[in-house]
Amino acid sequence: MPLIPQPPPPAGGALLARLHAINAEYGYLPEEELRRAAEELGVPLSQVYSAATFYAAFSFQPRGRHTIHVCLGTACYIRGGEKLLEKLESTLGVRPGETTDDRAFTVETVHCVGSCSMSPVMRVDGDTYGRLRADLLPRILRKYREQEAGGVSDEGM
């Protein structure tokens, strides 16, 4: 069976992949990068913007050095995910979507990270914490603060 010649895919997930790459590098989507992406991929800037706003994974605001995702998926919700959020809000003094003044933490909510059997669950950067209770949070936050104090910076700017 010979390979049937196929036209090059117009985008083939390329726009999404590009937005992911920018987001991974900067932690958010800076305007200049979006303009450049539009130019290089040959799509209108408006399309780039509408994709960037449509998907929850992207943000236009610079993030804190650590991003905390509190899971409010069904399993976590009915096992107290909101309590974790409330405790975080009061400990850090921020609401979901906001960043602490020292730019250490951005707090976000998410609908399921796929560890539902361990609910309630929270993710800090790439680390997932399961079977949580509000009173266990300060220790976890301290870990990331100490990491920074220890000179391990992942700021990358």
Partner 1 sequence: MKVCSRSDLETLRAKGLSTLYPSRLKVSVGMATCGLATGAAAVYDTLRDEALQRELDLMLVATGCLGYCQQEPLVEVRMPGRDRVLYARMTADRARELIAALAEGNLPTEGALAIIPEEKEPPAGSKPAGGLPRLNELPFYARQRKIILRNCGLIDPTSIEEYIAQGGYEAMAHALLDLTPEQVIDEVLRAGLRGRGGAGFPTGRKWQVCHDAPGQPKYVICNGDEGDPGAYMDRTVLESDPHSVIEGLTIAGYAIGAHEGYIYVRDEYPLAVERVTQAVARAQELGLLGENILESGFDFNITIVRGAGAFVCGEETALISSIEGGLGEPRPKPPFPAISGLWGKPTVINNVKTLATVPVIINRGAGWYAAIGTENNAGTVVFSLVGRVANTGLVEVPLGLTLREMIEGIGGGGLNGKAVKAVQTGGPSGGCLPARLFDLPISYETLTQAGSIMGSGGMVVMDENTCMVDVARYFIGFTMAESCGKCTPCREGTHYMYEILTRIVEGKGTPEDLDLLEEVARWVKMASLCGLGQTAPNPVLSTLRYFHDEYEAHVEEKRCPAGVCRALIRLAIVPDLCNGCGLCRRECPAGAISGEKKKPHTINPELCTRCRICYDVCPVGAIEIVR
Nearer to ligand FES, 14 or 116 (CB): 116
- The two structure tokens encoding residue 106: 């951005």
Separation in Å, CA 134 to CA 20, 140, 154: 32, 11, 27
Residues 103-122 touching ligand FES, rule: CB under 6 A, are 112-116, 119, 121
Q: Is 42 in the site for partner 1 (CB under 8 A)?
A: no
Q: How far apart are CA 40 and CA 66, in angstroms?
A: 31
Residues 68-127 touching partner 1, rule: CB under 8 A, are 72-75, 77-80, 82-83, 86-87, 89-91, 110-119, 121, 126-127
CA nearest to 108, candidates 52, 153, 63, 151: 63
CA nearest to 66, candidates 90, 33, 34, 88: 88
Count of residues that bind partner 1 according to CB under 8 A: 59
Place of tokens 């609401």: 95
Q: Which residues bind partner 1 (CB under 8 A)?
A: 1, 3-4, 6, 9-17, 19-20, 43, 47, 50-51, 54-58, 72-75, 77-80, 82-83, 86-87, 89-91, 110-119, 121, 126-131, 133-135
Q: Which residues bind ligand FES (CB under 6 A)?
A: 71, 73-76, 112-116, 119, 121
